[in-house]
Chains A and B, each alone.
Chain A
Amino acid sequence: NAGVTQTPKFQVLKTGQSMTLQCAQDMNHNSMYWYRQDPGMGLRLIYYSASEGTTDKGEVPNGYNVSRLNKREFSLRLESAAPSQTSVYFCASSELGGSNNEQFFGPGTRLTVL
């Protein structure tokens, strides 16, 4: 049981390049999330998917697109990377409902845009 996995762990891009961050979970969770974490800012929600086939914008969606490929996988795409997108990206999943809405996080992707 791997939990939440993310690839790649590290990436350096040049301004204008594109890339896709991959995320997968094996806990059969319905909800999945993408966050970015910047120093002093905490985690900010980029996009989330409440269930397979649905996606919604979070707090900071500009410059990103997502795909909920199936129940397990939720990818984040940067079409034209900008230096302001230098950050640590975390994917998470949860099973909302009841009294425990714990989120499980992947190990993160450290992205630098030059």
Chain B
Amino acid sequence: RKEVEQDPGPFNVPEGATVAFNCTYSNSASQSFFWYRQDCRKEPKLLMSVYSSGNEDGRFTAQLNRASQYISLLIRDSKLSDSATYLCVVNLYNFNKFYFGSGTKLNVKP
């Protein structure tokens, strides 16, 4: 069983749409949670950390549900520039390891 699972997509949405991605993790000892963005043939870059109380950064909202062991990412008012692959990442802090989901591909179309 994978440590982190994501729907691979692709999610094809029109500009201006709202889209949501979910991610589940298997280890209840996971301490930190992140969403990374990866553009085609580029390195991953941090989009946002995910806090227990949920957090928002502009058009992006991240939520954590520890009881059900999933995190979510909501993107409002999608832009063409949001087209990328979104990686869910969890960190077992005590073991200095990060586990990556295989990513969800988003295509925003005009």
Contacts and interface: CB of A to CB of B under 8 A. Distances in A.
Partners in one complex: yes
Interface of A: 31, 33, 35, 40-45, 48, 50, 56, 58, 90, 96, 99-103, 105-108
Interface of B: 4, 8, 32, 34, 42-46, 49, 51, 87, 89, 91, 93, 96-103
The secondary-structure label for the interface of chain B is strand
A52 to B, nearest CB: 14
B43 A106 contact: yes
A42 B96 contact: no
A45 B98 contact: yes
Given A33-B98, A40-B8, 5 more contacts: A43-B87, A103-B46, A103-B89, A107-B42, A108-B42
A105 B37 CA distance: 12
Contacts, number: 52
Contact of B96 (A40, A41, A48): A48
A90 B44 contact: yes
Contacts of B8: 40
Given A33-B98, A42-B103, A43-B87, A99 B45 contact: no
B103 A102 contact: no
A43 B8 CA distance: 14
B93 A101 contact: yes
Return the 9 tightest CB-CB contacts between A and B, nearest first.
Answer: A42-B102, A105-B43, A43-B100, A42-B100, A102-B46, A50-B96, A101-B32, A101-B91, A105-B44
A45 B42 CA distance: 18
